[in-house]
Chains A and B, each alone.
Chain A
């Protein structure tokens, strides 16, 4: 791990100036993507996961957008890079696959010519050569009869084939990082698995760093090496995938896990939705952003802003929760055993009140975190 990571995002803030006020879409996000590894970013809509990835490619730039922090790709900061430089980076170094392949492909151009365009933007090759390469790409992503299919229009493809074509387009210039933003959300369940398999296979073959952004933990369970859970523009928990599923630390992650249907286990076991709605990013809740929806909230949580801190005894696992670790572990073991949140809460004494009061008084919470101080 002494190697410099492929992509290092550090303290990224993205703020949109809208008529309703300042939207803090991304509020201090840091993560790394290693070569040949997959990072899953999970969160509800509006948690800032898509904005994070679009910002890495410079696609959120605009007069009403303020961006700070850094996203260093092999020594170059993409946040401060010029527009010209970013155009070189796009598709060449960082490529992206979007959620809805039908609306993401131009309806008026043949799939082949859209691929050729991506190739010719960055490689000085003839149209015929680019066309050959486009055919190879379609073959690579498993579209049968690829050369003939180059002449088809997007509306003549099935949903799965469109997403394959999008992936082919993303691979056109051998990117170092592939960002897949909800790559399977618009697809049938059977096709979803194929697309995820395809991404995993291509990553193994091409050695890219992959970021998969999703609202569905199930999507990243098989494919990601590490998972970052985002809530209200921040990462609230990050861990290796197996750790996140076995020993999650944040009540929001618990909620996400409890709301996934399980095939094993008794049928009558109910899915437990997370109550409430994602918070407004304009008027963020005070203290812990998750406190209005958290079943284990204490008074102090409404005042103290939790920082992403390492989980004791578990390297690489970090969470931003004000509950003390022992309490979190007890709560999770109750939930895992099938208890409902209220029951778990009643059974486990939340003995962190005094601890929090002390930290609050000491002002420790301000600088206890690993994150840089907030603006």
Chain B
């Protein structure tokens, strides 16, 4: 197992390198706005643009830029500075990360609780009215876009514009370290909006898996032992049916941490990674894009590694060498 983890981590290095390179290539090959012009502001003179270009070494050939970027990254863990406002990219990302992590992990807890409980109930009472209603609602939740759902949530519950003003609305995010209570209340709406579609997908996933698992021979054995139906379902059925949920969770959480929560962040005006990357892209801010992509890749591969390790604990037949 130890050797397996080391090998996987070495692969992470290779993968991150490949991702960084690919981003560089895409940025230089595809047409994009000139970052120096964007930085220079409205109707700049040629000299200013030239100076900016020189300062960020944008006048050097692309391979020189690439070499310098990789060199700084490897030797000093220096992610470079934003073309847009000279801030240190690493600082900027680390400043934004807590908001995204708060949103993603809190959302994941909400959708796991919702998805797993609805999935179990729907599987047990399959084809009942309860199941049909739950599965119908889940289709709605999957189909509803986050920006729409988010606006509806704000319209109903936000304390500034809502009809039932009980929760903080958009732009109320405060870091956990500043005020835990306010951090929590300000994230309730974003968590629920973010979690809705995931909860629905997980409920359907678990329902299908659990129904399939409950027809396994070992479930019959468990019943033949005289176990209560509750124990049969929770101890024998769920244990097997939960494995695909674990792998889905790893992937989804990784994507959200990588910036996929951008819609929720935008609707609720949460200063997270998603909005950082959005701004970087429209400003052709390559160092920030590189930084965000690199962190995203790290999150995804590390979470997948955790999922694979978790698998070995859930299923004893899985052995890594």
Interface string of A316-354 (1 = CB under 8 A from B): 000000000000000000000000000000000000000
Residues B26-55 near A (CB distance < 8 A):
none
Interface size on B, residues (CB 8 A): 20
Known contacts A100-B217, A153-B316, A155-B317; decide if A108 and B240 are in contact (CB<8 Å): yes
A149 at interface by CB-CB < 8 Å: no
Pairwise interchain contact B224-A105, C-beta atoms closer than 8 A:
no
- Complex Cα spacing A59 to B226, Å: 10
Q: B221 — which chain A residues lie within 8 A by C-beta?
A: 98, 104-106, 166, 169
Q: B316 — which chain A residues lie within 8 A by C-beta?
A: 107-108, 110, 153, 155
Question: Which residue on B lies nearest to A179, using beta carbons?
Answer: B224
A89 at interface by CB-CB < 8 Å: yes
Interface string of A67-84 (1 = CB under 8 A from B): 000000000000000010
Pairwise interchain contact B226-A98, C-beta atoms closer than 8 A:
no
- Complex Cα spacing A169 to B225, Å: 8
Interface size on A, residues (CB 8 A): 31
A91 at interface by CB-CB < 8 Å: yes
Residues B207-244 near A (CB distance < 8 A):
216-218, 220-229, 236, 239-240
Most buried by B among A88, A96, A106, A118: A106
Interface string of A141-169 (1 = CB under 8 A from B): 00000000000010100000000001001
Measured CB to CB, the closest approach of chain B to A91, in angstroms, equals: 5
Pairwise interchain contact B227-A87, C-beta atoms closer than 8 A:
yes
- Complex Cα spacing A275 to B226, Å: 41
Pairwise interchain contact B218-A87, C-beta atoms closer than 8 A:
no
Pairwise interchain contact B315-A108, C-beta atoms closer than 8 A:
yes
Pairwise interchain contact A90-B224, C-beta atoms closer than 8 A:
yes
Residues A201-245 near B (CB distance < 8 A):
none
Question: Which residue on A lies nearest to B243, using beta carbons?
Answer: A108
Pairwise interchain contact A89-B225, C-beta atoms closer than 8 A:
no
Q: B224 — which chain A residues lie within 8 A by C-beta?
A: 57, 59, 90-91, 95-96, 98
- Which residue of B220, B227, B315, B317 contacts A98 across the interface (Cβ within 8 Å)? B220
Measured CB to CB, the closest approach of chain B to A14, in angstroms, equals: 16
Q: B73 — which chain A residues lie within 8 A by C-beta?
A: none
B121 at interface by CB-CB < 8 Å: no
Known contacts A105-B218, A108-B314; decide if A90 and B223 are in contact (CB<8 Å): yes
A103 at interface by CB-CB < 8 Å: yes
A117 at interface by CB-CB < 8 Å: yes
A92 at interface by CB-CB < 8 Å: yes
Pairwise interchain contact B217-A117, C-beta atoms closer than 8 A:
no
A122 at interface by CB-CB < 8 Å: yes
Known contacts A57-B224, A87-B227, A90-B224; decide if A98 and B314 are in contact (CB<8 Å): no
Q: A83 — which chain B residues lie within 8 A by C-beta?
A: 229
Pairwise interchain contact A90-B226, C-beta atoms closer than 8 A:
yes
* A-to-B contact residues, CB < 8 Å: 54, 57, 59, 83, 87-92, 95-96, 98, 100, 103-110, 117-118, 121-122, 153, 155, 166, 169, 172
A-B residue pairs, 4 tightest by C-beta = A90-B226, A103-B217, A106-B218, A104-B217
* 8 more CB-based (< 8 A) A-B contacts, given A104-B217, A117-B225: A96-B224, A103-B217, A104-B218, A105-B221, A107-B316, A108-B315, A153-B316, A155-B317
